[in-house]
Amino acid sequence: RKEVEQDPGPFNVPEGATVAFNCTYSNSASQSFFWYRQDCRKEPKLLMSVYSSGNEDGRFTAQLNRASQYISLLIRDSKLSDSATYLCVVNNRSGNTPLVFGKGTRLSVIA
């Protein structure tokens, strides 16, 4: 089982739609979780950290379920500019790899 798994998509949604992505992780000792956004052929940029209590930043809401070992990202009122790949990232704090990235979920918001 891969350390971090995401549905690669693509998710094609109309403007204004609500879309949700899930990500599962295999290491129960994982301690920190993040969502990064990556535009085509550009560098990843931190979108938001994911806290146990859940957190919201404008139209974006992140949730963590430790018992089931998954993380979610909800985007409300999708904009064309939200089109990108969303990378789920897990900090294992063990072994040699500080952060483990998922393959990403591709989102296309259509006018």
Partner 1 sequence: ETGVTQSPTHLIKTRGQQVTLRCSSQSGHNTVSWYQQALGQGPQFIFQYYREEENGRGNFPPRFSGLQFPNYSSELNVNALELDDSALYLCASSRSTDPNEKLFFGSGTQLSVL
Residues linked to residue 89 through DSSP beta bridges, in sequence order: 34, 101
Using CB under 8 A as the binding rule, whether residue 100 contacts partner 1 is answered as yes
Q: Which of 93, 107, 108, 111 binds partner 1 (CB under 8 A)?
A: 93
Q: How far is the CB of 107 from partner 1 (least distance, A)?
A: 15
Per residue, the 3-state secondary structure of 5-46, as one string, reads EECCCCEEEECCCCEEEEEEECCCCCCEEEEEEECCCCCEEE
The nearest distance, CB 32 to partner 1, in angstroms, is: 5
Instruction: Answer yes or no whether residue 71 interacts with partner 1 by CB under 8 A.
Output: no
Is residue 52 part of the contact set for partner 1 (CB under 8 A)? no
